Structure 1
């Protein structure tokens, strides 16, 4: 299936912020990705709920999550950097009609990445015992052995995930978003089936096996897009390819950025491993809840925008890029903020509704609810950071996001070693939120100063208006929460519905009174979804 993005636009095509055919195509592509991602995230919650019901939030799940983290030492350091670096040069090649050059770049990137990952996976397989000792020092011997065994299983998925990410990036550069958006659906279906049917009989080891099988199916889901864009999958080591050289030039700072993200997760889990069974899994479940909106709205939206942003990355089009970024930031702030309020106020009803069944007991509910409340602080900052980072990458600057991530890592590590040791789950989640807020603020300032690609004054005005609306909304939610009992899923559903309705109504009412410009941008986007434009206005 092909999204309604039309033929590749010329370099003089209207910018994404201009009303017209290209803008409407981007909006429709964004809506497609949002819908597919939302469905995938619903299945992801079903997957996590299945894990929670079968295994609870105990040491077995902690071991599986650490095993995934060890795999990410390999996967995150290489694949993420290569996939993100691939989109700008391939997008520009497609935009200017040099499709074959873009294909050549993809083939070289895929071949080199696969070769490096095979070697890295073998090294990690051999060193799994030592790395597990370092990254989860608080585990008892049985849990640690289980983590090592599952690490060696999930390493098989490394190449599958690398191929998926690179092929999805190539398709997105061609304006094809359906298959990249659908990839999480078969993965989650496989995980759910394996967990429910085999988990009780074979134990938590089935999660590792399901992860590998699901990753292979995810890769297969990208093949229709590969065929649609005319990409032939054959190995190529033509490392002198100009597009690949551009990718390689961007990789080192992004590699450091991926390493920083992994360090944050590893320190969280290393400290969490000494805070009692279930700490790591409670943090994981809580983070999963909080990042739903960020993944569905922000990541899906910016994924569709990234190729268009990349086309605006040249110096002569910087004003267009700044205007596009300002509009996207305004819309994102307006959309994400009420979700933050609902998560913070209704953390316990949400956790009871999603997870409180089977082996997920009252202690697990309390720990996960605390994690959701503390993590919710970071959600707006995650959204701002994602948009600003994509803007930096569009102009070829991968160093600025890394510098801000490095500063955030220091805050996170210090917070883990202090707040995390003092307050357990709450302290670990709070230190993560504080680090993300710092990263978002610093990255926005640097992007505005170095590239004039973010308007700080419009962003500040929108932030103040949204902050006022959010404060009123939170007050309404807290009043309702005190009056509503939450003992089981039925109570939780009623409480969540009442709190969500009250928060959203009060939030929108204040924004309308303040006449926030981003509301008009939202209305235009909705019109673009309803009325397909065939040529630019004016």
Structure 2
């Protein structure tokens, strides 16, 4: 798992660097106005129905079963791939038609607070983005086939290529004056990625076994059995996309009711937090899916106890830095060109809310993926229902009182609930809470040091961040329990890194 995780992180760094350039460029050219708000609504309108049907179907339904079949019954793995590929292709084509014909109504539901002009721009962008749906869906399937073979190249390529496409589209839209070109920054990259993904998995022979010949499954019974097992895995998760995508839709609708600036600023703030999630939570979760599914039941708790301390070591000070210096970070990243003081105010308040729960979101997401890997999808459904329905209610109840801060704070509450519930199912809640209690004095000391040095300007931002990190590391170093816990976990990781846990577990299983 360690090797896969670090390869995913290193690959994601290039994508996040390009993503930062994309967001900075978008902020400078368009600020937090109508064009950016329309673009956010259009992309959300495209991704919600995609993820509604495919996100958990692929990551939690397809991948663990495909990995299992590849080890035990390669012909069934190929039958599962072909069946899921056909279903996704048919679904995505139907979705394209639905989005094209219903784009005005869909935009109206997601952005009830938008004026007619902004809603019209969003609808035109949605029409362009809808064309990229089949390519987006099938490329995601190819990335998981690669991951099942310990190949993260396709996953790592996605973020960088998508950011390059969006950067080019932003420049083209600004120079030409045709703002709908922004949406081609989503569609064109995925057309190219789909072509490359289809070529790559065949070139690498991921659909071949044994003597290298493609596995042929002509028996309908084999395909029917593969689909039946896939459905059995997926069935407990059907409630998750309803709640998850409903939560995203409510968040977008609430932001539109608070103003177009809030719609645009949400993603500027989210980018900072999502970058941390993409570099930590997503690699941990995907690596966990590929490795914990191969572990024995008796090995899971021990693996998690080795994983939790290093994650907290990184995510807790990161959360503190983002919370205390939210305004300074937003100013340094975005405050230029069309990004005015009001945009800074809104984005920094939202970043504060989102950053409060980063540590819990990273751990919670990882734990959920471990539950998926162990086939505990019913428990996952309960965890996800709790962690997304509560924030949905908070957004609807409190947005008139807390304003833009509500969106970030509700997301942090959801992350905390995800962490608590999933840790409880995995029997590591007491261990995690005990570690957090011991860390609390260090958290308070780091907050005091960081707040004392915080202020406007890059130097104050750097000084505050450095103070938080120094105090945090000193506290861990002087507390014997923490020193032993963190050092033993890190040393264990280094010992395991030359030989990944998934391979060891697979050998042990044999």
With the length of structure 2 as denominator, give the TM-score of the two structures.
0.90
Match of 2:211 in 1: none
| Alignment deviations for residues 331-377 of structure 1 (CA, whole Å, 9 cap, x no partner) | 22222111101100111121112111111111111111111111111
Residue 226 (structure 1) shift: 4.2
Flag structure 2 segments of 5+ consecutive residues without an equivalent: 209-213
Contact 1:419 1:428 in 2 (8 A): no
Write the mapping of 1:269-348 to structure 2, written as runs, cut at 5 A: 269-312=252-295, 317-348=296-327
Residue 237 (structure 1) shift: 11
Distance 1:497 1:244, change over 3 A: farther
Paired positions, count: 493
SS in structure 2 of the partner of residue 273 of structure 1: helix
Contact 1:371 1:425 in 2 (8 A): yes
Flag structure 1 segments of 5+ consecutive residues without an equivalent: 1-25, 448-452
| In structure 2, distance between residues paired with 1:236 and 1:205 | 45
| In structure 2, distance between residues paired with 1:103 and 1:344 | 47
SS in structure 2 of the partner of residue 279 of structure 1: helix
Contact 1:385 1:444 in 2 (8 A): yes
Q: 1:227 aligns with which of 190, 203, 207?
A: 203
Q: Residue 420 in 1 paired to residue 394 in 2?
A: no
Q: Residue 466 in 1 paired to residue 443 in 2?
A: no
| In structure 1, distance between residues paired with 2:46 and 2:76 | 32
| Alignment deviations for residues 281-320 of structure 1 (CA, whole Å, 9 cap, x no partner) | 11111111112112102211231232111112xxxx2121
| Alignment deviations for residues 224-265 of structure 1 (CA, whole Å, 9 cap, x no partner) | 244214327999995844333222222234342122221111
Write the mapping of 1:91-130 to structure 2, written as runs, cut at 5 A: 91-96=67-72, 98-130=73-105
With the length of structure 1 as denominator, give the TM-score of the two structures.
0.86
Match of 1:497 in 2: 462
SS in structure 2 of the partner of residue 190 of structure 1: helix
Match of 1:359 in 2: 338
Match of 1:29 in 2: 4
Please identify which structure carries the higher helix content: 2
Residue 81 (structure 1) shift: 2.1
Distance 1:39 1:519, change over 3 A: farther
| In structure 1, distance between residues paired with 2:36 and 2:219 | 40
Write the mapping of 1:103-252 to structure 2, written as runs, cut at 5 A: 103-222=78-197, 223-231=199-207, 240-252=223-235
Match of 1:10 in 2: none
| In structure 2, distance between residues paired with 1:61 and 1:532 | 43
Please provide the CA RMSD for this pair.
Answer: 2.6
Residue 497 (structure 1) shift: 2.1
| Alignment deviations for residues 162-207 of structure 1 (CA, whole Å, 9 cap, x no partner) | 1111111111111112222222111111111221243232343121
Contact 2:317 2:468 in 1 (8 A): yes
| In structure 1, distance between residues paired with 2:400 and 2:438 | 36
Residue 213 (structure 1) shift: 0.7
Contact 1:187 1:215 in 2 (8 A): yes
| Alignment deviations for residues 466-487 of structure 1 (CA, whole Å, 9 cap, x no partner) | 3332222111100111xx4x2x
